Amino acid sequence: MKYSLELSAATRPEWVKTVLSNFPAFLRDHADCERKASAMAMSFVAKYPDRVEIIPELIETAREELGHFHQVYTHMEKRGIRLARDMKEDPYIKALLELCRTDPPNRFLDRLLLASIIECRGAERFRIVWAALENDAELKEFYHQLWVSEAKHGNIFVKMALNYFDEQQVYLRLTELNEAEGKIVQTLQLRAALH
Ligand SMILES: [Fe+2]
Ligand SMILES: [Fe+2]
């Protein structure tokens, strides 16, 4: 059984140029994304305390994402870069959340599948950053590690969904959300940010 997905649209080549033009801003945004990914995993635990099949893996994911946050922060600290002062709304996440259906079972499914798509997009982009970084061997190695770790997370959330929904339903909705995500990334304004 296949748990992973192919993104429906590749990131535009101009994106990484925007990132490299202001890497401190990218690191600040990346740190925020890792912190939010950790909080998101724990929010599933808070919202669905009866879903005991997935709670251990959610806690483990939250710890891993918090670990990523710590790693990004350490790289920022070394380079004299502060965390972002004010939290701005992430237009990508906002557009994705608008795709979620509102009735409770479907909402649960959509949130899990969106989490997997977000992880896959993160993995794709960390791989692009890894390939593009030239002058900083330490950061280059770091983005290589992250790419591998986020790609693994892409599978976890689909697997979680398969505990509660049948395979056909999961893959049908995954395909729909994946197509919609591809359209969203193609229309968003480019920023020195993960999304
Ligand atoms: Fe992460
Ligand atoms: Fe992740």
What's the gap in Å between 171 CA and the centre of ligand 1? 24
**Rounded Cα–Cα distance for residues 128 and 135 (Å):** 15
By the CB criterion, residues less than 5 angstroms from ion ligand 1 are: 34, 65, 68
Q: How confident is the model at residue 1 (pLDDT cuts 50, 70, 90)?
A: very low
What's the gap in Å between 149 CA and the centre of ligand 1? 7
Please report which residue ranges of the chain form alpha helices under DSSP H. Answer: 13-21, 23-47, 55-78, 91-97, 104-132, 137-161, 167-187
pLDDT attached to residue 4 = 60
What's the gap in Å between 129 CA and the centre of ligand 1? 14
**Rounded Cα–Cα distance for residues 27 and 143 (Å):** 11
The more confident residue out of 144 and 6 is: 144
pLDDT attached to residue 3 = 57
What's the gap in Å between 124 CA and the centre of ligand 1? 12
What's the gap in Å between 179 CA and the centre of ligand 1? 23
What's the gap in Å between 147 CA and the centre of ligand 2? 9
pLDDT single digits (tens) 46-97: 999 999 999 999 999 999 999 999 999 999 999 999 999 887 789 999 999 9
Write down the pTM of the prediction: 0.95
What's the gap in Å between 150 CA and the centre of ligand 2? 4
pLDDT single digits (tens) 150-178: 888 888 999 999 999 999 999 999 999 99
Q: How many residues does the chain have?
A: 195
